[in-house]
Structure 1
């Protein structure tokens, strides 16, 4: 029996789901909106476990959904933070080349930033690096002034407050079990209730493939969870890092590599590595879920990923288990860092979509089938891009 009818149901109360509800209600204030969340609060997983960085869009292929939504989302985020007093700081970051072999890739990143219309980018010499980060190593760098840090959990809480003030509802502890499309409505079944809506949007993060498969049995993407583990600098060593220091990404591995991040609420994070998680929502090495492991290991694309990145992945696992190895990776960017300077920090799990051919999907992947829109892949910079993604999804809902 249907508990209640709505115009739009949104599955997931992370930043993308909340931002979608917010943008939808700005456009259609009378819309009856329900947000369903399986956890007891907003931003429980990726939105609340990320590095807190406001990304500039410098890395992303011009014209891609990532590039378009990151740059637009960046501007929307700053406006939102200013209007609602969300803590943030545009502190800038360095992308540092530590060898001559990395300089061509550094120059490519700089050129991509220019193509993406970033302003104020500056190529730095070895000596100029120390004007920004006196303790960093490197032979060349890019200074990216737009990059910043922000309180993403605070932003999520404010979005939830605003959408509820606009008349929307958020139902917590309601995991979605079924989505059934009819002619003019779609029924959504949870552990507790049945709901009906004209439109449904799924923004399920680490569960996005499972939720998408509720309406699309041919869903060709599988989420492979990668845990990123951090250390923090001890308070008496935080002075070594002024703001953000990143390496030139390794083109052979689809992650940014370990870096230093000053956080908006204080402290400096060092990391993350990127290791296969044995539980989708497992934030420790010891967290294991048999069903999640079966889903990963039974996916043919996973074994192709292992073939491509297995050697690099073993190095990531070694760093996860060895603080000394983790320290050596950090010392490439900052030789002064010692193992004794680091204390255990937090961890996050990245929902990385992978196809059957072993391709790790780099761009955002958002598909509409009938009256249902599925966000199937929204890795970093989804937090920065959330308000723009929300606009994009709203556009998708009402296109003929």
Structure 2
């Protein structure tokens, strides 16, 4: 079977590798000049344990499996990885009930997590401030771009092809084949590709690419910029692994945290604010079309109405290094604005329903011979090898 894969992020490459290794003829197309240019190459590099996700969801099931398969893949292929564990810390007594709920959810998902007191927490992180913590042993750090390079090698070694600078414009299923149209950045004119099946891993453009193929995505992608700092060396030496706050259930993101990086240094963040372009990694990146697209979606207004207070805090923290540092100092006292060094931002492709609820699980849409990945937020990188298995299974059903 000849299969077209749209998108050379980690999910597209993992799916392509799985198909190519079973003998399918695979073509991967990517509009950028290299792989992993968006969400995959701009995240915090964490191998998540499966702690946060609703029991029974795809996130929980595939995330927990990915916490095992992703480090194993990295070690097999010489990619930097370290299973360093993390602490989720309650900084005062009001957070203890939420921490306990998180511990129970982790247990339901089969995660190796246990409640510990402040003294034991400081055995792991001597400078942490907490009244209790959840110790999660299976969380790790990894080089996801290195994983993508290894997956790309698997695709090519199995006879597959990866082409860059090709923008996908749409496709339609015609009887026993899929006809797709691509724009080549290197030459004028539109290229037509005919395949037996297609998988679209469009990330920040996933809903638009689905519409271009005649599907109703069921949600709108709304971009949220994740703003990061790195800690200056003097402050970074005070963080030994990963330190997370207890998540606020009123807000869909985890809150700023401290993450040791696999190649050295410590990431701080991300702060989460609405991006003014789907690929808007800088504050000055503005796409009027993307802004209009987001503002025309009723779900964004309904989300904002329900989350105006935490949203306002995110915006204020985005504009103030002092407020950003203050949030980090709740976890490790003494971190100040002078300890923060700006780092590249990421943009999260969040699928948002019309009623303002966020799609909280991985979401696929299908039509004959086509599979579209509409929503793949964290822990999608961790779970990418497992998501690829799921996609291939769904694709086989669509071509039966």
Normalising by structure 2, we get a TM-score of: 0.96
Tell me by how many angstroms 1:137 deviates: 0.7
CA distance in 1 between partners of 2:205 and 2:354 (Å)? 18
Mapped to 2, the partners of 1:44 and 1:105 lie a distance apart of 36
d(CA) in 1 for partners of 2:216 and 2:257? 38
Q: Aligned match of 2:168 in 158, 161, 176?
A: 176
Q: Quote the offset at 1:217 in angstroms.
A: 4.6
Number of matched pairs: 392
Determine the C-alpha separation between the residues in 2 that align with 1:364 and 1:219. Answer: 13
Quote the offset at 1:350 in angstroms. 0.3
Q: Deviations over 1:234-292 (max 9, x none)?
A: 11221110000000000000000000000011100111110000011111111101111
Trace 1:40-55 onto structure 2 (pairs within 5 A): 40-55=33-48
Match of 1:79 in 2: 72
1:78-97 CA deviation, whole Å, 9 max, x = no partner?
A: 22112111100000000001
CA spacing shift, 1:365–1:217, aligned 2, 3 Å: closer
Conserved? CA contact 1:24–1:391, under 8 Å: no
Partner residue of 2:133 out of 124, 129, 141? 141
Query: Which residue in 1 is equivalent to 2:60?
Result: 67
Match of 1:304 among 302, 305, 308: 302
1:153 match = 145
CA contact (8 A) 2:172 2:179 kept: yes
1:70-149 equivalences in 2 (<5 Å): 70-119=63-112, 121-149=113-141
Any idea what SS the aligned residue of 2:341 has?
Answer: strand
- Does structure 2 retain, via aligned residues, the 8 Å contact 1:135–1:336? no
How big is the shift at 1:332?
A: 1.1
Question: What 5-or-longer segments of structure 1 have no aligned partner?
Answer: 1-5
1:278 counterpart residue number: 276
Matches within 5 A, 1:204-243: 204-243=202-241
**Aligned equivalent of 1:244:** 242
CA distance in structure 2 between the aligned counterparts of 1:182 and 1:309, rounded to whole angstroms = 44
The CA RMSD measured in Å over matched residues stands at 1.1
Q: Kindly indicate whether the alpha-carbon contact (under 8 Å) linking 1:199 and 1:371 is maintained by their aligned counterparts in 2.
A: yes
Q: In the alignment, which of 355, 358, 361 is matched to residue 357 of structure 1?
A: 355
| CA 220–367 in structure 1, closer or farther in 2 if over 3 Å, else same | closer
Mapped contact 1:86–1:151 kept (Cα < 8 A): yes
Aligned twin of 1:320 = 318
Hey, what's the Cα distance between the residues in 1 that align with 2:242 and 2:111? 18
Q: Name segments (4+ residues, structure 1) moved above 4 Å.
A: none
In structure 1, what is the Cα distance between the partners aligned to 2:70 and 2:357?
30
The 3-state SS of whatever aligns with 2:383 is: helix
Name 1:340's counterpart in structure 2: 338
Q: Distance in 2 between matches of 1:135 and 1:77?
A: 30
SS in 1 for 2:116: strand
Matched, 1:58 2:51: yes
Following superposition, the deviation at residue 398 of structure 1 comes to 1.1
TM norm structure 1: 0.96
Distance 2:182 2:285 in 1: 26
SS at match of 2:352: strand
User: 2:16 maps to which residue?
Assistant: 21
Segment of structure 1 superposing worse, 351-360 or 339-348: 339-348
Distance 1:302 1:338 in 2: 33
Q: Which runs of 5 or more residues in structure 2 are unaligned?
A: 185-190
- Pick one of 159, 162, 166 that aligns with 1:167: 159
Q: Which residue of 2 aligns with 1:3?
A: none
**Structure 1 counterpart of 2:27, from 22, 34, 56:** 34
Distance 2:232 2:71 in 1: 30
Q: Pick which of 274-283 and 121-130 moved more.
A: 121-130
